[in-house]
Amino acid sequence: MWIADNWKDYEVLDCSNGEKLERWGDYILVRPDPQVIWDTPKKLKGWKKMNAHYHRSKKGGGEWEFFDLPEQWSINYRSLTFNLKPFNFKHTGLFPEQAVNWDWFSDKIKKAGRPVKVLNLFAYTGGATLAAAAAGAHVTHVDASKGMVGWAKENAASSGLSDRPIRWLVDDCVKFVEREIRRGNTYDGIIMDPPSYGRGPKGEIWKIEDSIHHFIKLCSEILSDDPVFFLINSYTTGLAPSVLTYMLETEINSKYSGTVMSEEIGLPVSSNGLVLPCGASGRWCKK
């Protein structure tokens, strides 16, 4: 498992009975997590003295209960600053487990010894975009949500990266890649974090099981002649790491000789030293 264990401002304190107890900077949150199927005693005081608690509804969705939490606050990871706020369906605007991937591709960018163009698809609030830009890459950030792209720009400003070469685009990721193929544009690194299900800005439907293999194949057409890396993240239960490996082997490594690895990613749990699984990632890089 690849473990995001370099955080100072974020911590999974404990997890039990479908929930995780987290420290986000100075604030303690309790949020649901479907992986936490065990029921162990909730001994830490944070379970009773949290700043906010997201309650999942049996009918689907849920709602926040606030005790003492600002509308917005920020945390840091290395040189990056992320603005957080509680919003729909338990999220805060950041997936801390992805830091293990930020560190991986940042190293690849720095060691390339040349300018690196990176495309970040389904880019959300820009964690990967900021990490790539901070490492020296030229980044194209694409997400279908105008609000998420705006949030990513705020994170870039807070991180002192507003002057870096980042293109911010509100667009359907599949249609954008199709246009890039026609335009002949290429990238040295591609990052994608596709949702299990979603809709584009014009109602385009995305279902990962039906779409992901074709999309990886499309993206292989906009890789440069000498690509540096390719990263795909999955939070879909049915997509095992081995499935990500298979797709990367057949669509990327068959064209560019390199190395493919796929693993679960996770976060360390302070109370017991175990690791909470948080999805999977597939990585390709040149040898």
Phi-psi region of 160 (alpha: psi -120 to 50; beta: other; left: phi over 0): left
Rounded to two decimals, the pTM is: 0.94
- Residue 193 domain flag: yes
Q: Which pair of structure tokens corresponds to residue 135?
A: 């490492």
Query: 143 with 265, same domain?
Result: yes
Residue 239 has pLDDT above 70, yes or no: yes
- Residue 62 domain flag: yes
E strand intervals along the chain: 2-3, 10-16, 19-24, 27-32, 52-56, 62-66, 73-77, 80-84, 117-121, 138-143, 166-170, 189-192, 197-199, 205-207, 229-234, 258-268, 275-286
Which carries the bigger pLDDT value, residue 236 or residue 229?
229
Q: What is the CATH number of the domain that holds 150?
A: 3.40.50.150
Mean pLDDT of 95-115: 98
Q: Could you tell me which of 139, 221, 146 has the C-alpha nearest to residue 180? A: 221
Query: 7 with 106, same domain?
Result: no
pLDDT given at position 201: 62
Which carries the bigger pLDDT value, residue 118 or residue 60?
118
pLDDT given at position 206: 67
- Residue 263 domain flag: yes
Kindly report the CA angle at 159 between 199 and 77, in degrees rounded to 5?
85
pLDDT given at position 91: 94
Query: 73 with 144, same domain?
Result: no
Beta strand 189-192 pairing with 205-207:
unpaired
pLDDT given at position 151: 97
Query: 219 with 156, same domain?
Result: yes
What's the CA gap between 117 and 258, in Å, rounded? 18
- Residue 49 domain flag: yes
> How many domains does the chain contain in total?
2
Which of 2-16, 17-31, 227-241 bottoms out in mean pLDDT, i.e. has the lowest? 227-241
| 51 close to 27: Cβ distance less than 8 angstroms | yes
Mean pLDDT of 199-226: 84
Residue 257 has pLDDT above 80, yes or no: yes
Kindly report the CA angle at 178 between 169 and 238, in degrees rounded to 5?
85
Residue 92 has pLDDT above 90, yes or no: yes
What's the CA gap between 120 and 156, in Å, rounded? 14
Query: 20 with 152, same domain?
Result: no
Q: Which pair of structure tokens corresponds to residue 103?
A: 């560190």
Question: How do the residues of the chain divide into helix, strand and coil, expressed in percent and rounded to 5?
Answer: 25, 35, 40
Query: 103 with 72, same domain?
Result: no
What are 156-208's pLDDT values in tens digits?
A: 999 999 999 999 999 999 999 999 999 999 999 999 998 877 776 667 676 77
What's the CA gap between 26 and 17, in Å, rounded? 24
- Residue 91 domain flag: no
- Residue 39 domain flag: yes
Question: Of the candidates 84, 112, 127, which is a domain's last residue?
Answer: 84
CB atoms within 10 A of CB 238: 9
What percentage of the chain carries pLDDT values higher than 70?
Answer: 98
What are 133-162's pLDDT values in tens digits?
A: 999 999 999 999 999 999 999 999 999 999
Question: Of the candidates 84, 119, 146, which is a domain's last residue?
Answer: 84
What are 44-86's pLDDT values in tens digits?
A: 999 999 999 999 888 878 999 999 999 999 999 999 999 999 9
What's the CA gap between 250 and 20, in Å, rounded? 37
Kindly report the CA angle at 13 between 9 and 15, in degrees rounded to 5?
135
Domain that holds residue 48: 2-84
Q: Which residues, in sequence order, are CB contacts of 244 under 8 Å at separation 6+?
A: 232, 234, 262, 280, 281, 282
- Residue 57 domain flag: yes
Query: 123 with 222, same domain?
Result: yes
Query: 59 with 177, same domain?
Result: no
Mean pLDDT of 109-131: 97
Query: 70 with 10, same domain?
Result: yes
- Residue 90 domain flag: no
Query: 128 with 68, same domain?
Result: no
Q: Could you tell me which of 181, 182, 173 has the C-alpha nearest to residue 208? A: 173
**Helix, strand, or coil (residue 92):** coil
Residue 14 has pLDDT above 70, yes or no: yes
Which carries the bigger pLDDT value, residue 202 or residue 34?
34
Residue 259 has pLDDT above 90, yes or no: yes
Query: 134 with 241, same domain?
Result: yes
Mean pLDDT of 90-102: 97
Question: Of the candidates 60, 84, 108, which is a domain's last residue?
Answer: 84
Query: 15 with 108, same domain?
Result: no
Q: Which pair of structure tokens corresponds to residue 141?
A: 């950030």
| 238 close to 274: Cβ distance less than 8 angstroms | no
Mean pLDDT of 104-119: 98
Q: What is the CATH number of the domain that holds 36?
A: 2.60.40.1180
Phi-psi region of 62 (alpha: psi -120 to 50; beta: other; left: phi over 0): left
